[in-house]
Amino acid sequence: MLTELVNLLTNGALDSDELDEIAEQISAAPSDPYYEWTGGDDTIAIACELVEELEEFAATSDKIDELHEQIQDMFDADFPDFPFGQANAPIDLLSYFDWLDAELAQREAGQGRYVAICLDSGADDRLSVFLVYAKDQERVLALAHGLGLRMYRPRDVYAKS
């Protein structure tokens, strides 16, 4: 289950040995002394290690403009700058993610378009965003939920806020 999730979050960019090694590392996180600070919450340890292991495939920040810069770096130079003026002004996350979804819809990937999937590790205020193939989003969410991870489509959470 974890290997499949990692494969989908990386859009198939890793070979089977890399996938197995990363999945093994993530699975071992709850018993890693580094994660003693989680107080035995295996889900937080797994989520944090997932973000750590897949940092090159995710944008992670507690500031939306910094998150956007990381997403922008995932694309060629033609990806638009942060769309909402001053970054320190209050920003409606739903508006940002709706805008991002429209931008992603214009960028076809090898297997279709991308969508944003968020991961809340439960450890801090940071948000991690993975860009996955739209065709894989339901499977990503099902696998994540099966592992107890808090992954979601932005609209599913921020439209209710």
Q: 17-65 pLDDT, tens per residue?
A: 999 999 999 999 999 999 999 999 999 999 999 999 999 999 999 998 8
Q: Domain tally for the chain?
A: 1
β-strand pairing of 150-152 with 127-133: unpaired
Domain span at residue 30? Answer: 2-158
Give pLDDT, residue 111. Answer: 75
Could you tell me the pLDDT band of residue 121, with boundaries at 50, 70 and 90?
very high
pTM above 0.85, yes or no: yes
| Average pLDDT rounded to a whole number, residues 81-94 | 73
